[in-house]
Structure 1
Amino acid sequence: MRQIILDTETTGIDPKQGHRIIEIGCVEMIGRKLTGNHYHVYINPQRVVEQEAIGIHGITNEFLVDKPVFSTIADEFLEYIRGAELVIHNAPFDIGFINHEFSLLRRGFPNVTACCGVVDTLALARKKHPGQKNNLNALCKRYFIDNSSRTLHGALLDAEILAEVYLTMTGGQTALLLGSGDQGADGSEEGGSAIRRLPSERPALRVISASDAELENHKTKLEQIQKQSGNCLWLAGE
């Protein structure tokens, strides 16, 4: 299965109020393994980014001035996601914005759900952890995923973090790359989630044997169990 973990950043919270997408970040997984085939683009929204939104993602109006407008990246973006299952945290938000951008072009772009499957990890997390916080930071803390580099929201960074959260939430370490791929500098399999390994040269484990007195006490206890129950499995195995 080809899955795309996707996130967006926007000028505000509601496309019906004229807000637009300013960043798209995607990472690709095939067979639950990260392929390294990312998609990332900043977009000139052709409108002002609200100050409250800048406080969340740090993307300023000045930074976006020379970036491409959505119409110039729409075809390549649709080609990248077409036919995949999209994994998104709070999917209605991102899907709503993407569909709005497509509709503004008036070029017959399909609704995202008509050409892609969608998994909402927020809905999944709420089902698994009812009554608890289920934002991305809370999930990282719950699943022991390092998000220390996430001082601000960012579409590509958040997609990469969400990929680790999704794999852990839906299958744990069985989803990680454990094959014979090349290792990165941190010891993880390249193209896969980070795998923290124990040092190869560790001291031998200390073996502590029971004393004669402890063995005798153990035997006495088993004989008491045998007398009371008539069937001590530990004695039967001797």
Structure 2
Amino acid sequence: MSPWLGFLKKEWTESVKSYKLLLTVLIFSVIGILNPFTAKITPMLMENFMPEGAVLNLPEPTALDSWLQFYKNFPQMGLFIFILLFSTMMSKELEKGTLVILLTKGLRRSTVITTKFIMGIIYWTLAFLLTFFITYSYTAFYWDQSILEHLFLAAGCVYVFGILLFTITLWGNTYFASAYGGLLVTVMTVIALFVIAIFPDSATWNPLQLLSAPPQLITGAVASKEILTPFLVATGAILFFLIGTILHFNKKRL
């Protein structure tokens, strides 16, 4: 077995033992169910909380309401929980010094970073697909989804933005050798993107559009070509932070 596969197997085994796999399946399955469920019961709840005798004419929920819940809940809850779960991927081993033993036995430093990156992508993909397809299945059961446009493209935008935040977290985690460092860098990056979004011209390239544009994509209010530049900028940033993490770790004293 190659050192890369051996280290990947080690990472997977440790993630299972630390209940990351179980937590990922449970949490993101619940979020997937929550989206259509919330869309379905919201009108009934609002009617029940209205004063007696008041009339509230709410339209019947549609597939659009379910997916709007997806683009609200998944970035706000799912993405935050995922980053929190994997915010110690590097710092934990750097603090304990367990990587030193493996590196002295010939494991390349670049292998450590790329393996942890791929492990994070595997979990992010699992979390995303669970939420997406559970939402898709329940929404298809209750409503007609043919009214929606660019459904998979809109979902792909959120998926790529999640990879971007994870890569930034991994960089911060490695640079500061601390889970708090990784989280702080990620939070500061998101705040910076929100500040940049104040300027109207930034909408043409700001990666934050990958989170804000999907609800408009599925209604057809935004054309698919308008998301191309933010998508390319996010992809470039992912490569930049990944290479930066590898270069920094190659020079880091352990």
Q: Could you state the TM-score of these two structures normalised by the residue count of structure 2? A: 0.25
**TM-score under structure 1 normalisation?**
0.26
Structure with more contact order per residue of length (Cα contacts < 8 Å, sep ≥ 6): 2
Q: Which has the higher strand share?
A: 1
Structure index of larger Rg: 1
